[in-house]
Amino acid sequence: MRLLIAGIVIAFVSLLAPAFGEMNIDVVVDGLNNPWEMVFAPNGDIYFSERDGRIWKIESFGEAKVIQTFPKSGSYEGGTLGLALHPNFEENNKIYVYQTNLELEFFQNKVFSFTVDGDELIDKKTVIDDIPGAPWHDGGRIAFGPDDKLYITTGDAVNPGWSQDLSSLAGKILRINPDGTIPDDNPFDSSLIFSYGHRNPQGIAWSNDGLLVSSEHGPSGEMGYGHDEINVIVKGKNYGWPKVVGDSSDDSFVNPIIHSGQTTWAPSGMVYFDSNKIPSLDGKFLVGALRGQHLMVLDIAKDGSLVSAEKMFEGEFGRIRTAQIGPDGVLYLLTANGDNDKIIRISEAPVVEVEKFTSSESGSDQTILYGVIGVIVVGAIIGGIILKRKR
């Protein structure tokens, strides 16, 4: 009983405002519209995406350039999402992009590779296609792990049953070689799937010890509400959706190390912060929260158990899409409020002052319009299926 009470306290009470030191906060970029991902090259260049189709590059603070555009997908949660740099980026300049496409009647998610050539992306190649897509639940986070394999989070594409279906790429974390082939040591024969039973995983990060942690959005009506999750990801394991929401006593499913209960965090992109530039965050997993409008600070032990969970910057920046660590060892946050979004640099020690860049290319938020389009598209698909069955 004491252990149960302690677990409940950790899960639901420990997200309290922590006593962190005084921070220096600088806006590096503003005027953005729903940016989704940012990654840092070893030389300090920043690449970031906006969901409505733009990929940007910052070579020096005070100036950013659009280096690639995609057609707007018309998806409420999809679009131009995850970015990842090849582990040998300094030699081959390869960047990977997760993109939602509307092809004929159906949404589809793809991963492309490009070569960065100055201020443009060239040599486009399709690394993976046929990832099920939808107006909602498109996943979209991609990152290279310490094993130099590319990991890809996919949503259930509003079809929860696909998450348990090992013949579908929806509701999974995938693992591939950089050229798109299947690694020999994946858990399922001739399959890209690394783990399954996910609803809409939005973030992945590794500790220095190789512990893989993921953030995941819980249900928003189809099986209750809330129960956003933080999971330690183990090769070949089943994380329960839609058979389980929150914790289960069934050993065939892996329980989250913490979930939000009946409330909603909407946890998104994340990073393992291994820098002494902010000592209070060193060795912690940092997760952006959209609905919760805070940065989650998670101390996770080597065995995957949760030591503590705290909130930081609650309500200060609105919705936080992701967190990253720059080559300078300081923290960068990306907001996702849909209007005048920002890249924010946060440090504890004094840092060199930077000139802010303001985007004049990012338009107004179109998420409501995309939602309407998505509903129309889904209705058309369902109508088509009904007509075919009547014939």
Tens digit of each residue's pLDDT (9 = 90 or more) over 305-357: 999 999 999 999 999 999 999 999 999 999 999 999 999 999 998 888 889 99
**89 backbone dihedrals φ, ψ, rounded to 5°:** -55, -35
pLDDT at position 50 is 98
**135 backbone dihedrals φ, ψ, rounded to 5°:** -60, -25
The C-alpha atoms of residue 159 and residue 379 are separated, in whole angstroms, by: 14
| Contact criterion met (CB below 8 Å) for 195 and 233 | yes
**Dihedral angle, C-alpha 116, 121, 124, 130, nearest 10 °:** 100
| Contact criterion met (CB below 8 Å) for 101 and 110 | yes
The C-alpha atoms of residue 212 and residue 321 are separated, in whole angstroms, by: 19
| Contact criterion met (CB below 8 Å) for 70 and 80 | yes
Pairing verdict, β 24-32 and 357-358: parallel
The C-alpha atoms of residue 43 and residue 26 are separated, in whole angstroms, by: 20
pLDDT at position 10 is 44
- Is the peptide bond preceding residue 242 cis, with omega within 30 degrees of 0? yes
Length of the chain: 391
The C-alpha atoms of residue 6 and residue 229 are separated, in whole angstroms, by: 18
**Dihedral angle, C-alpha 68, 72, 73, 74, nearest 10 °:** 160
Q: Retrieve residue 262's tokens.
A: 């009946």
- Report DSSP letters for 58-76, one per residue: EEETTEEEEEEE------S
Expressed in percent and rounded to 5, the helix, strand and coil fractions of the chain are 10, 40, 45
- Residue spans of the domains in the chain: they are 1-32+265-360
Question: CB neighbours of 25 closer than 8 A, spacing ≥ 6?
Answer: 344, 345, 346
pLDDT at position 366 is 52
Q: Retrieve residue 149's tokens.
A: 């394999």
**87 backbone dihedrals φ, ψ, rounded to 5°:** -55, -25
- Give how far Cα 48 sits from Cα of 41, 55, 335, Å: 11, 6, 12
The C-alpha atoms of residue 192 and residue 181 are separated, in whole angstroms, by: 8
The C-alpha atoms of residue 207 and residue 288 are separated, in whole angstroms, by: 17
Tens of each residue's pLDDT in the chain, 391 residues: 444 444 444 444 445 445 566 899 999 999 999 999 999 999 999 999 999 999 999 999 999 999 999 999 889 999 999 999 999 999 999 999 999 998 767 899 999 999 999 999 999 999 999 999 999 999 999 999 999 999 999 999 999 999 999 999 999 999 999 999 999 999 999 999 999 999 999 999 999 999 999 999 999 999 999 999 999 999 999 999 999 999 999 999 999 999 999 999 999 999 999 999 999 999 999 999 999 999 999 999 999 999 999 999 999 999 999 999 999 999 999 999 999 999 999 999 888 888 999 999 876 555 444 444 444 444 444 444 334 334 4
